[in-house]
Amino acid sequence: MNNALENNWGNINLYQATANSVNTVFMNVNEHLTPKRTAAIAHEAGIQGDIDENSMYNVLGINALTVWDLAQGHSTIANNGVKNTLHMVSKVLDSNNKDMYNAPSNGTKVFDANDCALVQKAMQGTTTYGTAAGTSSMLGRPVAGKSGTANDEMASSFVGYTPSMMNVWAIWNPDDKGNPQVVPAFSGYGVSSTGYPAHLFQEFMAQALQGTEAEQFPTAKDNGKIGGSDGTWGLGKGQSNGLSNNTNKQSTEDAQKQAEQDAQQKAAEEEAKKQQQLRSSPSSASPIRAIPPSARIIPAPLPAEMATPATIPAVATGTIPATIMVIPEAPAGTPAPTASLSSK
């Protein structure tokens, strides 16, 4: 089992673990929560795909989920614990501009709003100092996000949102028989960490949010403590006794500030490098074609072969207007399908 970028993070909190995709931390959480409860929480959020209730690894996304499921589950968290049902059409007007149809807007409260605010806070770390560092500063507003990769770089995804708009991006590279292949690096972007899905999210949101005011996420009230309620979570018995919550909180805040500064500098350096590569290699066109936001195609339900592995923690999976953009690497001669999906 590997963490993002193969790093050993030592003792960190759940904010940092979420931001940096530290799998080992969530494995420990799942040991206490149990795989069965983790799967139940994911389904409560609206995910319909099958999730193994017996494997401790289900928290890492061993079951293939569609981008529809990713949007549905995350939108419940983004909507502060209220689950709505994703739909293709929000309303239909007649020639006189009168309503003929309005999609159901009644939601179901499934999670505590403050619990969701805590998850949103953790996911904002992803876009400031984590695996998608620089995304928030690039868009000039708070952004919650989560990156995801499959083993051996055969798929990559990114879920991101502001308080009013969500996008889900996924890339995979099947052969002509539908078997997974490694997604190659291109245009200066790799698959893992801050890869092309996060870049596509940034490009889309920069246009979609142009001219709009930056929105703020709800303020989360954090009553957590080292080791959890009984002292056995994470650090475990004995190890947490020598650390005070105040001392740990201050050291964590200092480390996070430094990490944010380092991430911003790294993101700027990487962006400059990518731009240089693009200028020096104009012929190296991307094999994956992004359809501009204005070209929204409403597809039929996604087929099974378009399912993409999800590496987000199943316990942290929420409705605001949501847009799903799917751009898989298709066999030669086959147009890459793209989907746009709304939810209110």
C-beta separation of 197 from 157 below 8 A: yes
List the one residue out of 193, 196, 185 whose CA is nearest residue 281: 185
Helix (H, G, I), strand (E, B) or coil at 276: helix
pLDDT value, residue 226: 79
Residue 332, domain member (yes or no): no
Q: Please state the pTM of the whole predicted model.
A: 0.71
Residue 125, domain member (yes or no): yes
Q: Which long-range contacts (CB under 8 A, 24 or more apart) does 25-31 make?
A: 25/234, 26/59, 26/60, 26/313, 26/315, 27/1, 27/56, 27/57, 27/59, 27/60, 28/233, 28/234, 29/59, 29/233, 29/234, 29/313, 29/315, 30/56, 30/58, 30/59, 31/56
Residue type, 203: E
Residue 336, domain member (yes or no): no
| 3-state SS, one letter per residue, for 195-261 | CHHHHHHHHHHHHHCCCCCCCCCCCCCCCCCCCCCCCCCCCCCCCCCCCCHHHHHHHHHHHHHHHHH
H or E element: which one contains 169? Answer: strand 166-174
Residue 340, domain member (yes or no): no
Please count the CA atoms within 13 angstroms of the CA of 179 that sit on its side-chain side: 1
Helix (H, G, I), strand (E, B) or coil at 92: strand
Residue 130, domain member (yes or no): yes
What is the domain range of residue 182?
4-326
Q: What is the CATH number for 265?
A: 3.40.710
What CA–CA distance (Å, rounded) separates 343 from 334? 29
Residue 335, domain member (yes or no): no
Q: What is the pLDDT along the chain (344 residues), one digit of tens a residue?
A: 556 556 677 788 899 999 998 988 999 999 999 999 999 999 999 999 999 999 999 999 889 889 999 999 999 999 999 999 888 898 999 999 999 999 888 899 999 999 999 999 999 999 999 999 999 999 999 999 999 888 778 888 999 999 999 999 998 889 999 898 888 877 677 665 557 899 999 999 999 999 999 999 999 999 888 778 787 887 644 343 444 445 455 555 555 565 666 666 666 666 666 666 565 654 444 333 333 333 333 333 333 333 333 333 333 333 344 444 444 444 444 443 333 343 44
Residue 313, domain member (yes or no): yes
The residue with tokens 């996924």 is: 170
Residue 344, domain member (yes or no): no
Number of domains in the chain: 1
